Amino acid sequence: MIEIQTLKYGKLIVFLLLCFCAGVWGRGPEDLEENPAVQRFRTYLRIRTVQPEPDYLSAINFLLGQAKEIGLSTRTFEFVPKKPILLTTWKGSSKEKLQSVILNSHMDVVPVEEEKWKYPPFDAEMDEDGNIFARGSQDMKVVGIMYLEAIRILKSKGWVPVRDVHVLWVPDEEVGGDDGWGKFSVSKEFEELNASIVLDEGSISSSGDKYIAINGEKNMWWLVITAKGETGHGSIYFENSAAENMFKSIASINAFRDSQMALVRAGEKSSEEVVSVNSVFLKSGLPTSDGFTMNIQPSVVEAGFDVRIPPSKEMAALMKKRVVEEWAPKNRNMSFYFTSQSETRDGEVPLTTADDSNPWWFLLRTAVSKFNATLTPRITGGATDSSFVRMHGVDAFGITAIQNVPSLLHNHNEYMNGYEFLKGINVVVEIIDRFGSFSGSRQSYQIQRSSM
């Protein structure tokens, strides 16, 4: 009898010890653990919206629940099967037909190499510093949840926007956005929203005294150059062989690349202001079962480059000239084509005006200044859904209102600090408050300014 009881107590102690260890391991600060905003953020992070097979259904169900709880109306669209878009709306109070505000976020995240992660990438584990580890914790689930949490706070204060504020949840940004914003941007549903400004993902600021607003993207060229020449025995010197011509081009491209990197290294230009050219493939040779034929010179050599050009017509024209005359000149039997290029309007990649002549910039700048921070415009080398928005003549700023966290977009061990997340919510509250209180238009604001 006694023996059995001891055994029971022994088991109980082991059980309690296990509970204690499980609770302590990976456990964040108690105030964060118990914070409902942090809990909701972590729940969203645990939904596996990872490419190439994102679980959009679970994400939409979670977000529909959130919208219902907060009191936002909802609509879902499916322009492509299994690629849902969710629109949640806070109706504005104005009787006038004011243009709306769209707060955009993509639901999908990029794939992970699970074994390289400190914690499982879809567990949203929190460490003792309050860092929450999960794919999407920076790009960009944090931004989406900050919108909702900010709206919760504003609603609890009884505040109502004058214009409609939409929170939009889209699929497939990480695979180019064609089935998400690509389809949405040309739909009547988007047109009906009559948007004046879209906020989207941006860059995390490494310092506590500034925020970054992305107002444009570099002009992207995926360039393939081809060299053709005589084929024949590997021992013969041909004039203008394909490989020889390609190497001349690569030498020219490398020299240009070095000149651009030197400008950045010397601090004369930022990386946003220079052209980036990076080699992505080199293709040639006659394959055999275990390698390449070694005594035949190939008649064709192909090379691919990812080229990103600061968004001005002049820069694009200069680069085109360079490609035609130096990188793929006809007189060396060379040609080129693009597998993909940024869309342009009148030859330019559209930008959003990032100065006080644009009321949305003014409102964004003054919102962050309340937190003793400046707002820095930035052209990004990457591509986001904002490019679809700007192509339709609508303003778009990319802002991730987070500071003091290292940027780990698409990296292993991506994490978000819980305290910075909570701080960011307050910034988003201020932004929505100012955007939603502004009853003018871009035109009326400009007239008012010019008469001052």
Closer residue to Zn ion, CB minimum distance, 64 or 409: 409
Catalytic residue among 108, 149, 179, 385: 108
Cα–Cα distance for residue pair 270/255, rounded to 1 Å = 19
Rounded Cα distance, 42 and 70, in Å: 18
- State the binding string over 355-384 for Zn ion (x if CB under 5 A, else -): ------------------------------
* 200 touches Zn ion (CB under 5 A): no
Nearest to 72 by CA among 187, 166, 153, 145: 166
The 10 Å Cβ neighbour count of residue 441 is 15
**Cα three-residue angle 372-377-381, rounded to 5 degrees:** 135
Q: What is the largest CA-CA distance in the chain?
A: 99
Residue pair 28/132 in contact by the 8 Å Cβ criterion:
yes
Binder of Zn ion out of 59, 85, 124, 140 (CB under 5 A): 140
Please say if 115 is a catalytic residue: no
Kindly tell me which of 250 and 405 has the beta carbon lying closer to Zn ion.
405
201 versus 430: smaller Cβ distance to Zn ion: 201
What backbone phi and psi angles, to 5 degrees, belong to 211?
-125, 160
CB of 249 to Zn ion, least distance (A): 34
The answer to whether 433 is a known ligand-binding residue is: no
The beta-strand segments (E) located in 38-177 are 73-77, 85-90, 100-106, 125-126, 131-133, 165-170
Q: Is 201 in the site for Zn ion (CB under 5 A)?
A: yes
Q: At 410, list the tokens.
A: 């698409």
Would you say 33 is a known binding-site residue? no
Q: Are 67 and 190 in contact (CB under 8 A)?
A: no
**Closest by CA position to 214, among listed 403, 385, 346:** 385
Instruction: Say which of 149, 173, 200, 395 is annotated catalytic.
Output: 173
Q: Which of 106, 100, 104, 105 is nearest to 165 (CA)?
A: 100
The verdict on whether residue 139 carries a ligand-binding annotation is yes
**Chosen residue from 42, 100, 132, 139 binding Zn ion by CB under 5 A:** 139
Q: Which of 44, 367, 397, 393 is nearest to 200 (CA)?
A: 397
Residue 300's DSSP bridge partners are 228
Is residue 402 near Zn ion by the rule CB under 5 A? Answer: no
Catalytic (active site) residue 31: no
- Contact segment (CB under 5 A) with Zn ion among 52-60, 181-189, 195-203, 437-445 equals 195-203
How many angstroms separate the CA atoms of 428 and 368, rounded?
A: 9
Residue nearest to Zn ion (CB): 139
In the complex, minimum distance from the CB of residue 139 to Zn ion, in angstroms, rounded to a whole number: 4
Which listed range, 41-49, 140-148, 293-301, 354-362, lies at the site for Zn ion (CB under 5 A)?
Answer: 140-148
Total residues at the site for Zn ion (CB under 5 A)? 3
106 is in an annotated binding site: yes
Q: How far is the CB of 387 from Zn ion (least distance, A)?
A: 12
Residues 93-132: x/- map of binding to Zn ion (CB under 5 A)?
A: ----------------------------------------
Segment contacting Zn ion by CB under 5 A, of 45-53, 123-131, 134-142, 365-373:
134-142
Q: What are phi and psi of 410, to 5 degrees?
A: 65, 10
Residue 123 and residue 112 in contact, taking contact as beta carbons nearer than 8 Å: no
Nearest to 418 by CA among 44, 132, 139, 146: 132
404 Rama sector, left if φ>0, alpha if ψ -120 to 50, beta otherwise: left
30 appears as a binding residue in the annotation: no
Closer CB to Zn ion, 139 or 217, in the complex: 139
Least separation in angstroms between residue 421's CB and Zn ion is: 16
Beta carbon nearer to Zn ion, 204 or 363: 204
Of 196, 202, 198, 205, nearest to 214 by C-alpha is 202
Closer to Zn ion by Cβ: residue 52 or 81: 52
Query: Per the annotation, where are the binding residues?
Result: 106, 139, 174, 201, 410
Query: Per the annotation, where are the binding residues for Zn(2+)?
Result: 106, 139, 174, 201, 410
Catalytic machinery residues = 108, 173
Instruction: Return residues touching Zn ion (CB under 5 A).
Output: 139-140, 201
